[in-house]
Structure 1
Amino acid sequence: MLSGLMKFLRACFRPSSDRYVHTSSEAGGRQDGLLWYKDSGQHINGEFSMAVVQANNLLEDQSQLESGCLSSHESGPYGTFVGVYDGHGGPETSRYINDHLFQHLKRFTSEQQGMSVDVILKAYQATEEGFLSLVTKQWPMKPQIAAVGSCCLVGVICGGTIYVANLGDSRAVLGRAVKATGEVLAIQLSAEHNVCIESVRQEMKSLHPDDSQIVVLKHNVWRVKGLIQISKSIGDVYLKKAEFNREPLYKKIPPS
């Protein structure tokens, strides 16, 4: 079973400059229905690969792998960056993250001369603020963009340290081989922000004590305002800014 799973997930990376799923013979990729994959080869911290299985014909998700591109003034190029952006409501947010988050991370790493938790936080914040600006500009012509969002899971490996940052309910898992037995242990590295989890529901209620509808059980599923399950994300501006949660958006939000 494990062997079959490893074959299924083997070697799947598309360069960040080509953010769409459609593969070509020139890119060396393969596509089987809504599954695509491509060998990524060697990277500065070893071999890395990714797989993408589309849930539907419109790809709302993005994934990104960058290596040797995070630098400080003193040490030169180092580090490996992996990003998984699980979009919902449309592809705009995940594509925006794919185009901007890593660039922000490089800039802050250079300014602070090294990787740190603060650098990652600043990159996330700059990406969120940038997408908010995009929504503000496009709102009059395209109000639906206010209801588009994305989970954002990032792993950065540098200097012998793994940094993991997460918004939403994607999960980072580390596989550790046990030499004595040959088994592989799965170690969870990130926590999900999904209101199906009791502690997350309690957090939402404590943050919004005056809103009895902040978390609603709908069709046996807990949802924020009865709409989405995740409590943190990039985008979803209509749930963060009241000025975007009004007509004409109401008529355009698809039923949950």
Structure 2
Amino acid sequence: MLRSYCFRPLERCCGVRNDGLLWHMDLKPHATGDFSIAVVQANSRLEDQSQVYTSPSATYIGVYDGHGGPEASLFVNRHLFPYLRKFTKEHGGLSVDVLKKAFNATEEDFTRLVKRSLPFRPQIVSVGSCCLVGAISDGQLYVANLGDSRAVLGSRGSDRKRNSVVAERLSTDHNVSCESVRMEVEAQHPDDSPIVVNCHGVWRIKGIIQVSRSIGDVYLKKPDFNRDPLFLQFGNPVPLKRPLLTAEPSIVTRKLRPQDLFIIFASDGLWEHLSDEEAVDIVFKYPRAVSLSSLLLLQIQFQHRH
């Protein structure tokens, strides 16, 4: 039977502790170790969600960093994993294609919700969420990502440095602050210049958004929403020759190794303040503690069985 640990910070459930603008969940077991969650709320309304589903054979991890409102991250929190389990069963196991199908189905469903909600909630067209998912099954790790949340693996150092930890980034930051992402977006829109502009020292697509991939943000993907009279009463149109953003995740796969100790899944609130190496060093030195320095952090530890 699949066990579900869903983090909802306003509820005193599942071992969640509420301290003002700070919530955390103490260590809980998953299929191959333990996990913990910590959240610092940066805004008056929390727009982020996280969840862990675990069974004897698999563990799923999700970190959803919302923007423009909480609707997209809440929607992903409720729909992505059911699709992931459904397609895994239909295809006889977890795979890159299964992950892509789950992301695509969630995006399509949220777009339909936006269309239904437009008459009474036109602002929902500008709501979106970054989406970082990890899946562990049969010793295989999958990391799928949209946006600028990040997964970083901590592994034990070499024999000469047994008390050290090595950081390995497992996801791609889809943020136009990275030159490679700016070049990717510009290459996809050769006839739409300038597609990325620098606003007061911050790079943004059309001066609006930093991330190039997300769930939602429908008005930056669908020209018909962008021109809808109801939306025009709420916001300014953005001329679209083609979608500015995509919901196509980047996916990394690798076999877990005996020296792999833990993975940190966190929103950009952590990575703006800590490097990959600094973050894994903190977890390595204090493995039983919960880090409280991020907007949203989820820690997965491994217990290797020989």
Give CA deviations for 1:95-144 in whole Å, capped at 9, x if unaligned.
Answer: 00000000000000000010111100100000000101101111121110
- Summarize the alignment of residues 89-128 of structure 1 with structure 2, pairs less than 5 Å apart: 89-128=68-107
Structure 1 residue 219, shift from structure 2 partner = 1.1
Distance in 2 (alpha carbons) for counterparts of 1:184 and 1:34: 31
User: Which structure ranks higher in relative contact order (CA pairs < 8 Å, sequence separation ≥ 6)?
Assistant: 2
Q: Letter of the aligned partner of 1:236 in structure 2?
A: D
Q: Is the aligned partner of 1:59 residue 2:46?
A: yes
Name the SS of the counterpart of 1:164 in structure 2. strand
Q: Is the aligned partner of 1:211 residue 2:188?
A: no
Aligned partner of 2:114 in structure 1 is 135
The answer as to whether partners of 2:9 and 2:16 remain within 8 angstroms in 1 is: no
Structure 1 residue 249, shift from structure 2 partner = 3.1
Name the SS of the counterpart of 2:9 in structure 1. coil
- Summarize the alignment of residues 16-165 of structure 1 with structure 2, pairs less than 5 Å apart: 16=6, 20-24=8-12, 27-68=14-55, 78-165=57-144
Distance in 2 (alpha carbons) for counterparts of 1:189 and 1:253: 36
Name the SS of the counterpart of 1:59 in structure 2. coil
Distance in 2 (alpha carbons) for counterparts of 1:253 and 1:65: 36
Q: Is the aligned partner of 1:190 residue 2:157?
A: no
Q: Letter of the aligned partner of 2:48 in structure 1?
A: D
Unpaired segments of 5 or more residues in structure 1? 1-13, 69-76
Q: Is the aligned partner of 1:245 residue 2:233?
A: no
Distance in 1 (alpha carbons) for counterparts of 2:188 and 2:181: 11
* TM-score for the superposition, normalised by structure 2: 0.71
More off after superposition, 192-201 vs 28-37? 28-37
Give CA deviations for 1:175-212 in whole Å, capped at 9, x if unaligned.
Answer: 11226421121110011111111111111111111111
Distance in 2 (alpha carbons) for counterparts of 1:195 and 1:29: 34
Aligned partner of 2:214 in structure 1 is 233
Structure 1 residue 23, shift from structure 2 partner = 3.9
* TM-score for the superposition, normalised by structure 1: 0.85
More off after superposition, 242-251 vs 46-55? 242-251
Give CA deviations for 1:223-248 in whole Å, capped at 9, x if unaligned.
Answer: 01110100010000000011112444
More off after superposition, 78-87 vs 211-220? 211-220
The answer as to whether partners of 2:118 and 2:230 remain within 8 angstroms in 1 is: no
Q: Letter of the aligned partner of 2:183 in structure 1?
A: Q
Distance in 2 (alpha carbons) for counterparts of 1:142 and 1:31: 30
Higher strand share: 2
Distance in 2 (alpha carbons) for counterparts of 1:245 and 1:113: 40
TM-align CA RMSD: 1.8
Distance in 1 (alpha carbons) for counterparts of 2:16 and 2:28: 13
Q: Letter of the aligned partner of 1:249 in structure 2?
A: F
Unpaired segments of 5 or more residues in structure 2? 237-306
Name the SS of the counterpart of 2:153 in structure 1. strand
Distance in 2 (alpha carbons) for counterparts of 1:231 and 1:27: 34
Q: Letter of the aligned partner of 2:5 in structure 1?
A: P
